[in-house]
Amino acid sequence: MAWSGPLPAHQHEKTIPLRQLEKWTDWLCDERVGPFSAAIASVLLYCLTQIVVMALLSHVAGTGVGVDDSEQLMEMRFLAAGYGSSQPPLYTWLAMLAASLVGTSVLALKIVKYGLLAAGLAAYFTAIRRLGYSNRAAASGMFGLLLFPQVFWEMQHALTHSVAIFCFTSVLLLALVEVEKRRSAVAYAFFGLATAAAMLSKYNIVIFLAALFLASLSVRETREAIFDRRFLISVAVAVLACLPTLYWSLTHLEDLLSHQDGLGVAEGGSIAKTALLGSRRLANAIVNFAGLPAVIFAAAYVLAMRNRTEPPQPVRWPEKLLWRAIVLGLVVMVAVVLAAGITQFRDRWMLPIFILLPAALAMRFDAMGQKGRKTQATIVFVGALLAMLVLPLSWYMHLHGGDSRGGIVRTDYQSLYKQINADGPVKTVVSSWFWVGNLRLVDAGLIALDDETPDFARSIREPAVLVLTDDREPPSDVFEEMAKAGYVMDTVHRTVEVPQALGFPPRKVTITRLHKKTAQ
């Protein structure tokens, strides 16, 4: 006879935390906080917390910022259509805007990063809702993005342009939805502006644009929107917005292509070996980027299929669009790899291909009834949990920076700035890479340059110094740029010890005055 009496007290108590977690997950999925969905409100609160906490931690500990943010500090001195480093300028423009409001500071940099993260997540959620899917599907898609390690972890302690492309691919998806829904001149202008913003975020967005365009042509609803003559508004807005940067790129081809060696073109030797090597490394990058979320999604899907009693609803056109865009993105990526002989990849370059995956799966689960609802809740719970777990780790990395080049955050830049100016005020600091951008947190008027700075010679203002530290970046390239600009080093080199935060030993830095060559 089966036991039908009350559960023992200790077993009953064990279920209480689980019930609370289920309630919390259901709240994220279905409830509202004022005018916002609870999921959106949670994301906004999360990003606001990160902005405040990280700015305060840097202020209290006296630390700088990491590699990517220090590069932004170097570039955001002035408005330009391009800044070199083979990257588009939009992120730098946004950083300049933030700095104009709150000053050149860690706060400005974090406002840009977490503002873009919040905007991207909110746009993704809104796009799914606008397509007619449930609030739970939208929350599942949005929190599904947080299952990608490059999103919930790397974007929080590093990366800049990848954060922008994350945001504006989501905004572009929303803009496409608005075009299909409204077919107004404003909607088409918004789509053109979103396309331009994506293009000005990171150049590998062209793969996403090609895949989304081809997928849109294959679906009747979006094909009609594209063949509408008002689509020319989108084209005109996108072209006009990108025109200054396009012109800058054509007139600064060396700066535009400065990182092409990182693609490993034709590294395999023969065509066949290069294709094989490129395909293998591309597969590795895909697994590294999408492996963890794929496992979680697959487990959730298997759980949803068990003991299913109700048949799934037919596949709607938005779901077809997203799945086709993902497949076409992979096809375009493979074609580019084989045609160009590319053999080197970074995991985050896969973002434009797989950013639609959580939305596509959330839509599929929405069509599976009650089982699908439970699976969506699982994805929301895991994504939210991962975001919460990385909070203290992100704060630690913000102050510590890691063991490689990220360790530049620990340097006491106030002390370094005083030692640089010990022999008199300095207007320009030159180094072999962009770690010296951190000095602009001390003096926003300081010019910081490295060998990748476009128009290097015209940027130097005297008095100028060369600052080198004990890192792995060879100074030969910056020596070459200085020689082209007509500058030579003083014969006296001053080596100083700069304190580091968190009890790390001082860092040795060599400071040398620069002088303009006298005409012979």
Ordered per-residue pLDDT tens for the chain, 520 residues: 344 445 454 444 446 677 788 888 889 999 999 899 999 999 999 999 999 999 999 999 999 999 999 999 999 998 999 987 778 999 999 999 999 999 999 999 999 999 999 999 999 999 999 999 999 999 999 999 999 999 999 999 889 999 999 999 999 999 999 999 999 999 999 999 999 999 999 998 999 999 999 999 999 999 999 999 999 999 999 999 999 999 999 988 887 777 777 777 777 778 888 888 888 888 998 999 999 999 998 887 777 677 566 677 888 999 999 999 999 999 999 998 888 888 888 888 899 889 999 999 999 999 888 888 888 999 999 999 999 999 999 999 999 988 778 889 999 999 999 999 998 999 999 999 889 999 999 999 999 999 888 889 999 999 999 999 877 677 888 999 999 999 999 988 899 999 999 889 999 999 999 998 875 5
Q: Which residues pair with 360 in a beta bridge?
A: none
Domain boundaries, the chain: 22-400, 411-516
Would strands 428-430 and 447-449 be described as parallel, antiparallel, or unpaired? parallel
User: Does residue 420 sit in helix, strand or coil?
Assistant: helix
Tokens 């950013």: give the residue. Answer: 355
Q: According to the CATH classification, is domain 411-516 in 3.30.110?
A: yes
Q: How far apart are CA 190 and CA 202, in angstroms?
A: 19
Place of tokens 């009496």: 5
Alpha carbon distances (Å) from 47 to 50, 131, 143, 195, 399: 5, 26, 14, 25, 18
Length of the chain: 520
Q: Nearest Cα to 360, choosing from 325, 311, 387, 385?
A: 325
